[in-house]
Structure 1
Amino acid sequence: MRVIGYLRVSTQDQDLEKNKADILAFANERRMGPVDWVEEKISGTKDWRKRELGQVVAFLGKGDWLITPEFSRLARSTLQILEILAELKKKSVHVYVLKGAQHVNDSIESKVFLTMMALFAEIERDLISARTKEGLKARKAAGVKLGRPKGSGKSKLDQYRPEIKALIKTGSSLVYIAKRYKVARSTLHNWLKKNKIDRTPQP
């Protein structure tokens, strides 16, 4: 069993030592053994796959633990946090967040919690969508030519890939996802197949 203490700070004035002490106290109380530390001084808005956290998620396996002071240390976006948790849950990795004593595992409580997070992620997605539409409207009014270049081979779903994967993993139906992103179900099906995205929700 591997135990990772994950610490991320975005500014120099945030103290890692107190967070370390809290994580060690939790691990020692449960006799987990040694804790391996992963420390990053980087903005939580950066894609988690491009941070050291992405490597941590990749090598953790069944029965391992990831302990962090609070959810915002994983990422600033609810959508990114949901995707990280879904990926770790798929691998049967325990995630423990000290703030609020949240233990994300295969329990009913965790499933309820992830469902709530999915709802918050949808709200966040709606807000982002609204801001995007306002921005496009302003650009159009300014005479900027909009639309996808011909022959680009890209799909409008590409930009929502992390969100769609997270929704699938938390049990959202393809009908719901297609309706949400305003595409035909066949379009979504073909896009998932093309991008080799597993359509099986996590139990």
Structure 2
Amino acid sequence: MRAYAYLRASTKDQDAERAKEQLTGFADENGIKVSSWFTENESGSTLKRPELFRLLEIADSGDILLVEQVDRISRLDNADWETLKSIISDKGIKIVSLDLPTSHRFIDGTDKFTERMLSALNSMMLDMLAAMARKDYEDRRRRQSQGIAIAKKEGRYRGRPEDKVLQTKIEGLLNDGKSYSYIQGLLGCSRHTISKVNKRRRTSDFPGSPQN
């Protein structure tokens, strides 16, 4: 049995490896070695998470997917959660989450009957925690939308602050003749952001941009 640890944060501004020390301590205490770490900054509300699926591709039946909390692997809606859970179940991968004590029993060798009982119990608990994680995600999105609506009504809304450092890097690469795909791969930004910088650099609104 091998253990693969998965670390996730929602945005690039957050530290995805924040829980690495905690997971390492848990693994040491339980006598397991983490074979590989998979880290990414992607929303838990989408299945578009290349590192998670790379882990699932590598892991074999009986291997452990180690996470800090269930919401690290799912803030998905019900349909997407069922899809992900089915992939994990079909491969025979065992989810061990620090916030789900019953899952810790998978670390110890158990007989077939006990393992089936644990699997059934954990499936129910995972569903509950995944549903709670999704509800928390939707509640925060709703509160955010309500706050933006109030701020707009009161004339206080200014939108998301722009990343001036990132924009300067993009501008420099565009000036060097680099392609959108090259910049996107190097900086991890969206093509929309690159396009926006490219349009602005052609006007006097962008520092250091060429004049019309």
* Structure number with bigger Rg: 2
**Larger relative contact order (CA 8 Å, sep ≥ 6):** 1
More helix per residue: 2
